[in-house]
């Protein structure tokens, strides 16, 4: 993976401090920067010991395939959160893009042209949906929370209005995207990895990526440095919408149906993944690789709990507590390094 | 209660309530010592406050490097020193706002605690800490509102009466029920001082209390301070205005680079000697200004106007010239800079660069036209604190080293190294988050950010605020070098010596208008102050 943006940026004090202070600070720094890696490893070890079903190659591939959908949405969400924004509309937009994909992938509308449309139309719908969010947020007329809370409702309404009944009987080639395998590995994983690489490249190696960090870190200073803040904000929501569309195609293909109720609660899972990955909701701090770790932690946790026959309400309690703990830790470290 | 009544409680002490506070409604009966139950046990000739070898280390800065100082009861001690000398830190320690220092701070001979500091010491700072929506009386009495008849309610009439009593001591008249947001900055400052006084402290710390006051207002404050001294209240007075300091203080202590360099009775000092002690060298060496003839006009501002912020501002800036802009806080200097730079554009007027009119709608256009602004508030609009210093430095020049969207990072880091060494920014600071650096290093990085673009016009708004002396002199050296190379600099500063030491010409703003221009030869501290402070209020026009 591309070298990461924040590797160099550590809250190291400028002058020497006492040895004890330095030790403490180093420990804090490690906990902050690698806490989630350790947590992931710990979870895997625990579940591997507790459940024989967990420690199979097939199950691990299964986990990766399952996290691909949430993971891709989380990557888009990372861009948004880096600018101190939030995108609550991803779940509803996923339903809308699913339907716009499914319509062209259903067997009864089978012509060669629809192959392209089943992929292109959802991407356009996702992009436009994200651009609507971005345009309103960039205009500064309403906060990201309110804007995307509104579009969360509106996009869902559009999806249901468009089609209440699920679209089943999707074409075979379409089913291959999400449930097929290449060289023994589910196709969704390849797409996920490709998205991760592109997103890392954009954040770390492009002017735009640098501007995303700057705008999230300090909007006023970014504007004073000549950065087009509105354009950056607009773009991150568009990116989020585009990621949602890609995730929607994989998801629709894998479950074999496009439905208006798809993606409910997806926004919370995506935000949770980003936050568990250590990104700050205040913006300016976070990276793609950490979001991926956050996604994996959630995926492993879900999978492991299911295999251990933990009931779904209990799962939710655990995941919820984890999110609060992750954000509190972020607050703790912020205070530390302040 | 004016100064004439202040002794009335001397023979007739009211019974002290258990918490040691005077009963409400009585301000300083017989001096603040009168209501201290333990005062009989304390040697009244011993100092009220004793500092012994106090050291304070902040990340990157040794703010106090071992300061020992006494404050006697009923004395006015002035604390002077440059920005970054350690005055604010010392004051914050006394007020119990910061902890983690080494050394001893004694109050009445016993180590000071957050509790005892709160009880006996009131700090009035520059930054206003008032609640804008609350009335004058509510703000003055905040934290000690008199209880009403029902629990949870407060007695408005009593509150007003007590607030009035405090204002009487200060000899000023303010509408008690008016919300503070509708007061002038000077009036707010008075409320701030009254609020400190209302707590009946034994030590009142005034940090730059006159920075936004007119001469008349300041005079009233001085007589109030004298009245307090009579009551046995000690006053720690911090100011950059050395004439004031010498007029009002009993003693003066000078801080420099976190050390107390000297102290003594104020009658033994002159302004010149104080400055030399503060700066530690001759001013002529501190401010670097190589004389040279200015070139063509680079920036011309014509009848710039933004209602409510400034009116009819016109001036020119020539190549190789430093033009100082003086004025009181709130005179509109920052607003003019922000308008020229496009942060909040003016409504009317013209801006010409090299003779051609330009429309500056945003900082982006201003930067593209070769302008740069080092903003007044570094943390708020100068730096992206969470980003590495190096990335802050390159932030305004990203286009210059990208091919399309792709950043060419080797070119970038070469450029960063070049400008970093130009401003003397140490290599090891580059990889750190800029928010963790000292103010001086942050400011150097901000200047480096603009140097990378080689601007034609550099606007510096309070460029040396809150930075250490070393960084300060480096910034002066840099300004001198840059102008020698033809850059035009607009220097906005509230520090008179800085304006006088660095400027080829000085513009003075007052209440949103340019009111005077001085050549380097004609500019003196007196002439600038006279132009900057409002003659009409000096004649007592303003209501209070």
Q: Which residues pair with B237 in a beta bridge?
A: B78, B206
* pLDDT at site A336: 61
d(CA B438, CA B444): 10
Cβ-proximal residues to B414 (8 Å cutoff; 6+ apart), any chain: none
Sheet architecture: strand order including B110-111: B61-71, B49-58, B102-107, B110-111
Most distant pair of Cα atoms in chain B: their distance: 84
Nearest by Cα to B366 from B397, B342, B334: B342
Cβ-proximal residues to B283 (8 Å cutoff; 6+ apart), any chain: B275, B276, B497, B501
A224 and B437 within 8 Å at the Cβ level: the answer is no
Nearest by Cα to A207 from A184, A173, A233, A232: A232
Whether residue B114 lies within 8 A of chain A, CB to CB, comes out as no
CA distance A175 to chain B (A): 36
Whether residue A217 lies within 8 A of chain B, CB to CB, comes out as yes
* pLDDT at site B32: 46
* pLDDT at site B544: 33
A14 and B441 within 8 Å at the Cβ level: the answer is yes
* pLDDT at site B388: 94
Tell me how far CA of residue B422 lies from CA of B418, B426, B433, in angstroms: 6, 10, 20
Q: Which residues pair with B300 in a beta bridge?
A: B316, B352
CA distance A295 to chain B (A): 24
B391 and A206 within 8 Å at the Cβ level: the answer is no
d(CA B359, CA B350): 8
Whether residue A15 lies within 8 A of chain B, CB to CB, comes out as yes
Nearest by Cα to B177 from B147, B169, B143, B167: B167
Q: Is B267 exposed, middle or buried (0-12, 13-18, 19+ CB in 10 A)?
A: exposed
Nearest by Cα to B333 from B375, B372, B370: B375
- Number of Cβ within 10 Å of residue A183's Cβ equals 5
User: Which tokens in the block code for residue B86?
Assistant: 């350690």
Dihedral, CA atoms, A206, A211, A217, A220, nearest 10 degrees?
Answer: 170
Q: Rounded to two decimals, what is the model's pTM? A: 0.77
**pLDDT tens-digit map of B258-290:** 889 889 998 888 887 887 787 776 555 677 778
Return the domain boundaries, chain B.
Answer: 10-20+30-280, 295-370+456-544, 386-454
CA distance A280 to chain B (A): 11
- Number of Cβ within 10 Å of residue A58's Cβ equals 8
Contact yes or no for A189/A61 (Cβ under 8 A): yes
Query: What does the mean pLDDT of chain B come to?
Result: 83
Tell me how far CA of residue A191 lies from CA of A79, A127, B19, in angstroms: 18, 18, 71
Across the interface, of A9, A206, A218, the residue whose CB is closest to B406 is: A206
Alpha-helical segments (H) within B317-467 = 333-340, 363-368, 389-393, 409-422, 439-451
d(CA B411, CA B417): 10
CA distance A15 to chain B (A): 5
Nearest by Cα to A36 from A314, A316, A301: A301
Alpha-helical segments (H) within B394-465 = 409-422, 439-451
* pLDDT at site B36: 46
Chain A nearest-CA residue for B441: A14
Alpha-helical segments (H) within B171-303 = 185-198, 215-230, 242-248, 271-279, 283-286
CA distance B343 to chain A (A): 7
* pLDDT at site A20: 59
Interface A–B counts its CB contacts (< 8 A) at 111
User: Which tokens in the block code for residue A136?
Assistant: 């309103």
So what's the ipTM on this one? 0.85
* pLDDT at site B9: 36
* pLDDT at site A15: 42
Most distant pair of Cα atoms in chain A: their distance: 73
- B432: chain A residues, CB-CB within 8 Å: 9-10, 12, 14
Q: Do domains B10-20+30-280 and B295-370+456-544 have the same CATH topology?
A: yes
Please provide the CATH number assigned to the domain covering B295-370+456-544. Answer: 3.40.50.300
B362 and A223 within 8 Å at the Cβ level: the answer is yes
Nearest by Cα to A137 from A128, A146, A129: A146
- B390: chain A residues, CB-CB within 8 Å: 8
Q: Helices A187-205 & A207-217, crossing angle to 10 degrees?
A: 70
For residues B201-208, give the mean pLDDT.
89
Beta strand B102-107 with B76-80: parallel, antiparallel or unpaired?
unpaired
Q: Which of A18, A219, A224 to mutate to test the interface with B (most CBs of B within 10 A)?
A: A224
- B458: chain A residues, CB-CB within 8 Å: none
- Number of Cβ within 10 Å of residue A16's Cβ equals 9
User: If you compute the radius of gyration of chain B from its CA atoms, what whole number of angstroms results?
Assistant: 25
d(CA A123, CA B468): 55
* pLDDT at site A331: 73
d(CA B381, CA B373): 10
* pLDDT at site A171: 86
Across the interface, of A213, A226, A337, the residue whose CB is closest to B387 is: A213
Whether residue B296 lies within 8 A of chain A, CB to CB, comes out as no
CA distance B64 to chain A (A): 15
- A226: chain B residues, CB-CB within 8 Å: 363-364, 366-368, 396
d(CA B461, CA B498): 12
At which residue do the structure tokens 């295999």 appear?
A307
Collapse the DSSP code of A162 into the 3-class scheme (helix H, G, I; strand E, B; otherwise coil) and give the result: helix
Q: Which of B433, B445, B449, B467 to mutate to test the interface with A (most CBs of A within 10 A)?
A: B433
A205 and B406 within 8 Å at the Cβ level: the answer is yes
d(CA A160, CA B60): 59
Whether residue B40 lies within 8 A of chain A, CB to CB, comes out as no
- A222: chain B residues, CB-CB within 8 Å: 384, 395
d(CA B179, CA B133): 5
For residues B223-229, give the mean pLDDT.
85
Tell me how far CA of residue B302 lies from CA of A146, B248, B340, B358, B515, in angstroms: 43, 43, 11, 12, 15
- B431: chain A residues, CB-CB within 8 Å: 8-9
User: Which tokens in the block code for residue A335?
Assistant: 């205070």
Whether B536 shows a pLDDT value over 50: the answer reads no
Whether residue B385 lies within 8 A of chain A, CB to CB, comes out as yes
Chain B nearest-CA residue for A336: B436
Could you tell me the pLDDT band of residue B42, with boundaries at 50, 70 and 90? Answer: low
The answer to whether the Cα torsion of B343, B347, B349, B352 is positive or negative is: positive
The answer to whether the Cα torsion of B319, B324, B325, B329 is positive or negative is: positive
* pLDDT at site A70: 96
* pLDDT at site A7: 40
- B396: chain A residues, CB-CB within 8 Å: 225-226
B60 and A15 within 8 Å at the Cβ level: the answer is yes
Contact yes or no for A80/A87 (Cβ under 8 A): yes
Whether residue B438 lies within 8 A of chain A, CB to CB, comes out as yes
CA distance B363 to chain A (A): 5
A226 and B368 within 8 Å at the Cβ level: the answer is yes
A214 and B60 within 8 Å at the Cβ level: the answer is no
Whether residue A330 lies within 8 A of chain B, CB to CB, comes out as no
CA distance B219 to chain A (A): 39
A225 and B449 within 8 Å at the Cβ level: the answer is yes
**pLDDT tens-digit map of B74-100:** 899 999 887 667 888 888 888 888 888
CA distance B185 to chain A (A): 25
**pLDDT tens-digit map of B333-378:** 999 999 999 999 999 999 999 999 999 999 999 999 999 999 988 8
A284 and B60 within 8 Å at the Cβ level: the answer is no
Whether residue A12 lies within 8 A of chain B, CB to CB, comes out as yes
B77 CB-side CA count, 13 A: 26
For residues B386-393, give the mean pLDDT.
94
Cβ-proximal residues to A234 (8 Å cutoff; 6+ apart), any chain: A131, A134, A135, A137, A138
CA distance A276 to chain B (A): 19
User: Which tokens in the block code for residue A289?
Assistant: 């690789």
d(CA A42, CA A62): 19
DSSP B266: G
CA distance B403 to chain A (A): 9
d(CA A282, CA B21): 44
Contact yes or no for B180/B42 (Cβ under 8 A): no
- A11: chain B residues, CB-CB within 8 Å: 433, 436
Nearest by Cα to A320 from A277, A290, A276, A261: A276
Whether residue B396 lies within 8 A of chain A, CB to CB, comes out as yes
Q: Which residue has the higher pLDDT, B538 or A174?
A: A174
CATH fold, domain B10-20+30-280, is: Rossmann fold (3.40.50)
B380 and A222 within 8 Å at the Cβ level: the answer is no
Q: For the stretch B498-533, what's the b/e string if a residue is b when 16 or more beta carbons lie within 10 angstroms of its beta carbon? A: bbbbbbbbbbbbbbbebbbebebeebebeebbebbb
Give pLDDT tens digits along chain A (338 positions).
343 444 434 333 444 445 555 566 677 777 777 778 888 999 999 999 999 999 999 999 999 988 999 999 999 999 999 999 999 999 999 999 999 999 888 877 656 667 789 999 999 999 999 999 999 999 999 999 999 999 999 999 999 999 988 998 888 888 889 888 899 899 999 999 999 999 999 999 999 999 999 999 999 999 999 999 999 999 999 999 999 999 999 999 999 999 999 999 999 999 999 998 889 889 999 999 999 999 999 999 999 999 999 998 998 898 889 888 877 877 777 666 54
Q: Which of A225, A333, A337 to mutate to test the interface with B (most CBs of B within 10 A)?
A: A225
d(CA A238, CA A235): 5
Q: Helices B215-230 & B185-198, crossing angle to 10 degrees?
A: 10
Contact yes or no for B39/B33 (Cβ under 8 A): yes
User: If you compute the radius of gyration of chain A from its CA atoms, what whole number of angstroms results?
Assistant: 20
Nearest by Cα to B43 from B117, B109, B120: B109
CA distance A38 to chain B (A): 24
List, as one string, the DSSP characters of A87-126. Answer: -TTHHHHHHHHHHHHHHHHBGGG--HHHHHHHHHHHHHHH
Q: For the stretch B138-149, what's the b/e string if a residue is b when 16 or more beta carbons lie within 10 angstroms of its beta carbon? A: bbbbbeebbeee
B384 and A220 within 8 Å at the Cβ level: the answer is no
Chain A nearest-CA residue for B410: A205
d(CA A150, CA A169): 32
B432 and A12 within 8 Å at the Cβ level: the answer is yes
Could you tell me the pLDDT band of residue B330, with boundaries at 50, 70 and 90? Answer: confident
């Amino acid at each position: 993976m591309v070298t990461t943006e924040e590797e160099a940026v550590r809250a190291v004090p400028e002058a020497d401090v006492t040895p004890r202070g330095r030790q403490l600070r180093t420990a804090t720094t490690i906990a902050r920067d690698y806490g989630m890696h350790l947590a992931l490893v710990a979870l895997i070890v625990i579940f591997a010991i507790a459940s024989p079903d967990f420690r199979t190659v097939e199950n691990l591939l299964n986990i990766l395939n399952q996290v691909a959908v949430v993971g891709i949405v989380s990557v888009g969400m990372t861009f948004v959160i880096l600018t101190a924004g939030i995108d609550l509309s991803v779940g509803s937009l996923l339903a809308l893009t699913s339907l716009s994909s499914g319509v062209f992938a259903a067997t009864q509308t089978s012509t060669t042209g629809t192959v392209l449309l089943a992929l292109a139309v959802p991407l356009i719908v996702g992009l436009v949906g994200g651009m609507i969010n971005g345009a309103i947020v960039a205009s500064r007329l309403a906060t990201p929370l309110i804007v995307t809370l509104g579009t969360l409702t509106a996009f869902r309404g559009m999806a249901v209005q468009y089609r209440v009944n699920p679209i089943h009987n999707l074409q075979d080639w379409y089913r291959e995207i999400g449930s097929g395998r290449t060289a023994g590995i589910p196709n969704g994983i390849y797409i996920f990895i490709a998205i991760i690489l592109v997103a890392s490249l954009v954040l770390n190696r492009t002017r735009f990526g640098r501007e995303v960090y700057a705008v999230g870190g300090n909007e006023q200073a970014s504007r004073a440095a000549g950065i087009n803040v509105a354009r950056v904000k607009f773009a991150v929501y568009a990116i989020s919408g585009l990621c949602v569309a890609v995730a929607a195609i994989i998801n629709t293909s894998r479950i074999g149906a496009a439905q208006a109720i798809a993606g409910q609660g997806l926004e919370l899972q995506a935000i949770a993944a980003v936050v568990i990955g250590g990104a700050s909701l205040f913006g300016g701090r976070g990276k793609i690789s950490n979001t991926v770790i956050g996604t994996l932690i959630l995926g492993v946790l879900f999978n492991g709990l299911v295999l251990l026959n933990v009931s779904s309400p209990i799962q939710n309690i655990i995941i919820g507590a984890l999110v609060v703990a992750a954000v509190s830790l972020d607050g703790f470290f912020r205070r530390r390094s302040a | 209660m004016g100064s004439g009544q202040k002794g009335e409680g001397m023979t007739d002490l009211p019974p002290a309530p258990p918490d040691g506070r005077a009963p409400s409604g009585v301000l300083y009966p017989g001096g603040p010592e009168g209501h201290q139950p333990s005062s009989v046990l304390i040697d009244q000739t011993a100092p009220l406050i004793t500092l012994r070898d106090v050291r304070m280390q902040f990340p990157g800065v040794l703010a106090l490097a071992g300061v020992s100082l006494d404050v006697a009861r009923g004395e006015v001690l002035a604390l002077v020193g440059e920005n970054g000398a350690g005055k604010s830190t010392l004051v914050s320690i006394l007020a119990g706002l910061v902890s983690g220092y080494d050394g001893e701070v004694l109050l009445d001979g016993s180590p000071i605690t957050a509790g005892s500091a709160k009880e006996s010491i009131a700090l009035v700072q520059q930054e206003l800490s008032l609640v804008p929506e609350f009335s004058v009386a509510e703000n003055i009495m905040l934290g000690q509102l008199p209880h009403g008849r029902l629990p949870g309610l407060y007695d408005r009439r009593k509150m007003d009466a007590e607030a009035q009593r405090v204002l009487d001591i200060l000899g000023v008249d303010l509408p008690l029920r008016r919300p503070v947001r509708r007061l002038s900055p000077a009036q707010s400052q008075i409320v701030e001082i009254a609020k400190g006084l209302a707590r009946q402290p034994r030590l009142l710390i005034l940090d730059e209390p006159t920075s936004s006051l007119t001469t008349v207002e300041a005079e009233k404050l001085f007589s109030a301070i004298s009245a307090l001294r009579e009551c046995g209240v000690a006053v720690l007075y911090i100011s950059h205005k050395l004439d004031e300091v010498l007029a009002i203080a009993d003693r003066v202590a000078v801080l420099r680079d976190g050390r107390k360099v000297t102290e003594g009775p104020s009658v033994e000092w002159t302004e010149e000697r104080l400055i030399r002690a503060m700066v530690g060298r001759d001013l002529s060496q501190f401010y670097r200004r190589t004389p040279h003839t200015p070139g063509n006009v680079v920036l011309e501002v014509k009848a710039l106007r933004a209602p409510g912020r400034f009116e009819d501002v016109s001036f020119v800036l020539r190549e190789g010239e430093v033009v100082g802009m003086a004025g009181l806080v709130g005179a509109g200097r920052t607003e003019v800079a922000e308008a020229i730079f496009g942060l909040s554009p003016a409504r009317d007027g013209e801006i010409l660069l090299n003779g051609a009119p330009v429309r500056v709608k945003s900082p982006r256009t201003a930067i593209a036209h070769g302008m740069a602004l080092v903003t007044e508030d570094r943390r708020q609009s100068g730096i992206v604190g969470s980003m590495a210093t190096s990335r802050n430095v390159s932030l305004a020049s990203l286009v210059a080293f990208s091919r399309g969207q792709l950043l060419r990072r080797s070119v970038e880091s070469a450029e960063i190294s070049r400008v970093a060494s130009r401003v003397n920014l140490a290599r090891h600071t580059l990889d750190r988050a800029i928010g963790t650096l000292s103010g001086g290093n942050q400011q150097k990085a901000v200047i480096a950010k603009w140097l990378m673009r080689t601007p034609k016009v550099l606007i510096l708004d309070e460029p040396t605020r809150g930075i250490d002396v070393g960084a300060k002199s480096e910034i002066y050296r840099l300004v001198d070098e840059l102008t020698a190379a033809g850059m035009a600099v607009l220097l906005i500063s509230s520090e008179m010596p800085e304006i006088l030491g660095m400027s080829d010409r000085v513009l003075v703003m007052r209440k949103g208008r340019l009111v005077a221009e001085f050549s380097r030869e004609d500019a003196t501290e007196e002439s600038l102050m006279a132009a900057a402070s409002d003659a009409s209020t000096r004649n007592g026009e303003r209501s209070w």
